[in-house]
Amino acid sequence: MKNEKNKLLIYIAGGCGALALGLGIVAYRHPHVAAANGAVVSTAGKDMEPVADSTATETTVSGNDTATASGNDAATVSGNDAVTGAAAFSTRALEEGMTLNDLPALTIASGVSFAEVQDPEAISFAVAPDEEESEYANLAIAQVTDYVNVRSLPSTDGEIVGKIYNGSVAQVLATAGDNDDWFQIISGDVEGFIKAEYFLYGEEAEAVIDQYVTYYATVLADRLNVREEQSADSRRIGYIDNGENVKVVEDCGDWLKVQYTDSKQGYVSAEYVSVHEEFVYAKSIEEERREEAERQALAARAQEAEQSTPEVIGDITFPTNQYTSNEELRTAIVDYAMQYLGNKYVHGGRSLASGTDCSGFTSYIYKDFGYSLSRTPGGQYSTNGRSVSYDEIQPGDIICYGKSKCTHVGLYIGDGQIIHSANSRKGVIISAADYDNILAIKNVID
């Protein structure tokens, strides 16, 4: 969106108020020219030259009549109210920053109306501020099948410096190319050139921006309750720790509906969170290479883990399956699980190294110790281990969460905490064991 230039406004003292402006053009009234309220003075774009006699011919126009002044008056005067005028000054277009001393002439453009000047000497000038610009001005949204290359020059011969994927957002810095058919953009850490045809831009982009922005709430309180309904009296169904980000599903005014696990939503008080927006941005070639190297390393590590006898591979120490007591076994299970802290959440994932979901995390942890568990939260709740109370819980037990059915599981690590593959945004994290409604606790070992 283009910014309009600042407009020079003229303010007139003496009780007459400010000049009414048309199309951003302003007018200056000479002491020898008086106009009744509502009159229109026009030169149709031509300058009015000075006359030798300031008492030159006077012309009066009343009612709906239109007349051209005679003598040295070069202006055409029209309007619904009476006008008496004597042209004793030259006119030209005012330009920003000019003062009265800079004005040998002034153009009064057609269509500019103004109030009667009672004290012409009390004229002051001010520059009006720019019109408020949209926060999404110069925004562009990529509209491609998969991705398009970002280049170092506005040409397909330019070096590829990054990739921008469908739905990614960029700021347009300028147009480029022989036909202005390229955009110079900045998106995330990537700056370069892309064909303009691959973007929605300006008003088109602003009209659909809500489809491409995600809002997140950051918890400001030490621990924020998640409620079933929009009320502090509603049942608590979970909580979120300080500093955690959760996706905002709906803004309900004093309450926000948030997604606090992959499968669960609830309400939090808007008073205790700060909300920010996030977009998807372009990726540099360096980022692409780094991510690909990480993917290959994780895949290789996962393959080695499946084929190896207990040993240290990378930073992972695998179990020996030789433990003298259940207590020692439980400690080993917790230590082993903690090595995957920070790894990715992958729905349906089959590797601890490259990522799993919640039940995949617990089942594959136990698999490496020789236990076969169900691959689903519901299966682990209904078929694996025996149920124990919270007073009986031990490190290594599986906690099942939900209301009437199990929708999430985590591995108890002691001290009132679990490690679990939380969701695609958080990955494998540590949470308080009672962060959500506990449906059951399963002892798989003894």
Residue reference for tokens 């082993």: 336
Q: How far are the Cα atoms of 170, 174, 191 from residue 279, in angstroms, in the given order?
A: 9, 21, 16
* pLDDT on residue 245: 85
The domain 213-278 is placed in CATH, from the list 3.90.105.10, 1.10.10.10, 3.40.120.10, 2.30.30.40, at 2.30.30.40
Distance (Å, whole) CA 195 – CA 198: 6
Encoded tokens for 5: 């230039």
pLDDT at 302: 60
Q: Calculate the CA dihedral of residues 51, 54, 58, 63 and round it to 10 degrees.
A: 100
Contacts of 177-184 with CB under 8 Å at 24 or more apart are 182/154, 182/155, 183/140, 184/154
Identity of residue 265: Q
Tens digit of each residue's pLDDT, the chain (446 residues): 334 334 344 433 333 333 333 333 333 343 333 333 333 333 333 333 444 443 433 334 444 434 444 444 434 444 433 333 333 333 333 444 444 444 443 333 333 334 444 444 544 444 445 556 667 778 999 999 999 999 999 999 999 999 999 999 999 999 998 889 999 999 999 999 999 999 999 889 988 998 999 999 999 988 899 999 999 999 888 878 788 888 999 999 999 999 887 668 899 999 999 999 999 999 999 998 988 887 787 677 666 655 544 444 446 677 776 788 999 999 999 999 999 999 999 888 888 988 899 999 999 999 989 899 999 999 999 989 999 999 999 999 999 998 888 999 999 999 999 999 998 888 999 999 998 889 999 999 98
241 phi and psi, to 5 degrees? Answer: -80, 160
At residue 390, φ and ψ (nearest 5 deg) are -65, -30
| 213-278 matches 139-210 in CATH topology | yes
pLDDT of residue 291: 84
Query: Burial, 324: exposed, middle or buried (Cβ in 10 Å; 0-12, 13-18, 19+)?
Result: exposed
Whether residue 226 contacts residue 267, with contact meaning beta carbons closer than 8 Å, is answered with yes
Tokens, residue 331: 């400690």
- Rounded to whole angstroms, the Cα distance separating 387 from 362 reads 16
CB 240 within 8 A of CB 223: yes
Is the separation of the CB atoms in 77 and 69 below 8 Å? yes
* Sequence spans of domains, the chain: 1-133, 139-210, 213-278, 304-443
132: how many CB neighbours lie within 10 A of its CB?
Answer: 6
- In the sheet with 34-35, reading across from the earlier edge strand, the strands are 34-35, 83-85, 59-61
DSSP state of 49: P
CATH of the structural domain 304-443, one choice from 3.90.1720.10, 3.30.2020.30, 3.30.1330.10, 1.10.260.40: 3.90.1720.10
Displacement of CA 303 from its chain's centroid (Å):
40
Calculate Rg over the CA atoms of the chain: 37
Domain with residues 139-210, CATH architecture: Roll (2.30)
